[in-house]
């Protein structure tokens, strides 16, 4: 598990913000990913919330130089298998089940499981996971809640996602137990629909500079 943890951290430490994308049209995936990479956001999570998601993952993984393609909203083993087959290099889930943990053991792709309570965190620690997604971040208690977990779960790192924006991202990134945050604000629906890739690159660059 330590090798997989290091692989996951090498992805999450590429940037302070991982874009969380809901792609309605697979044709927009490649120019969108290129715009994000140009702005410094190389690790990109494409969620399996639309019929176009797997085609988008496949296109980005094959055609976008520099992109590290991930798949999100993975809810079961079939999702996991399909995402890996499409080219996902890391897998993100809003929670964790025995089925997901088992299938993760069978693949090289790094797995970021979700947790929102102390019991869920303890369960993942028992399985050897030291890096987790904290979801839904704002609704589950926000940065203050996550900060309170840093003492009892020293050494555990989180990627909070859910309700995070440019306005509150720093609240999370300043915490010692946060490795990065996930956010959708870097790819607004209106900019994607209009093909304003320069605008998205600008947002990506602002997000990339948050840690500094």
Per-residue pLDDT of the chain (212 residues; tens, 9 = 90+): 688 899 999 999 999 999 999 999 999 999 999 999 999 999 999 999 999 999 999 999 999 999 999 999 999 999 999 999 999 999 999 999 999 999 999 999 999 999 999 999 999 999 999 999 999 999 999 999 999 999 999 999 999 999 999 999 999 999 999 999 999 999 999 999 999 999 999 999 999 999 75
As a whole number of angstroms, the distance between CA 132 and CA 178 comes to 10
pLDDT for position 186 = 98
Extract the tokens encoding 137: 């971040």
| CA–CA separation, 68 and 62 (whole Å) | 10
Secondary structure letter of residue 107 according to DSSP: -
111 and 93 Cβ atoms separated by less than 8 Å: yes
In this structure, the chain runs to a length of 212
Active site residue 133: yes
Give the CA dihedral 64, 68, 71, 76, nearest 10 degrees: 130
In the chain the domains, ranked by start, together with CATH numbers, are 2-208 (3.20.20.70)
Calculate the alpha carbon distances from 5 to 109, 112, 185 in Å.
11, 9, 27
Closest CA to 187 of 40, 15, 36: 36
**Distance between CA 8 and CA 163 in Å, rounded?**
23
* Prediction pTM value: 0.97
pLDDT at 211: 77
C-alpha 200: how far from its chain's center?
18
- Provide the 8-state DSSP code for 161: B
Residue 194 CA neighbour count, 13 Å, CB half: 9
42 given a catalytic annotation? no
Catalytic residue, chosen from 4, 24, 45, 138, is 45
Closest by CA position to 50, among listed 21, 23, 77: 23
Cα separation, 161 vs 38, in Å, equals 22
Number of other residues whose CB lies within 10 A of the CB of residue 98: 9
CB 190 within 8 A of CB 24: no
Q: Choosing from 133, 138, 202, 206, which is the catalytic residue? A: 133
Instruction: Specify the pLDDT at position 2.
Output: 86
DSSP secondary structure letter of residue 13 = T
């Amino acid at each position: 598990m330590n090798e997989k943890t290091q692989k996951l951290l090498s992805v999450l430490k590429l940037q302070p913000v991982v874009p969380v994308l809901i792609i309605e049209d697979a044709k927009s995936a490649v120019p969108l990913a290129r715009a994000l990479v140009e702005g410094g956001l190389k690790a990109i999570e494409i969620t399996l919330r639309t019929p176009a998601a797997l085609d988008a993952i496949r296109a980005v993984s094959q055609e976008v130089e520099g992109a590290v393609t991930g798949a999100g909203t993975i809810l079961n083993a079939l999702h996991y298998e399909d995402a890996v087959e499409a080219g996902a290099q890391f897998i993100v889930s809003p929670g964790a089940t025995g089925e997901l943990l088992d299938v993760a053991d069978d693949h090289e792709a790094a797995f970021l499981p979700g947790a929102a309570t102390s019991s869920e965190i303890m369960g993942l620690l028992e399985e050897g996971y030291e890096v987790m997604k904290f979801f839904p971040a704002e609704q589950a208690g926000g940065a203050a809640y996550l900060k309170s977990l840093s003492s009892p779960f020293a050494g555990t790192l989180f990627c909070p996602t859910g309700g995070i924006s440019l306005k509150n991202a720093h609240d999370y990134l300043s915490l010692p137990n946060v490795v990065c945050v996930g956010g959708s604000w870097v790819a607004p629906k209106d900019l994607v629909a209009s093909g304003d890739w320069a605008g998205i690159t600008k947002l990506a660059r602002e997000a990339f500079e948050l840690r500094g």
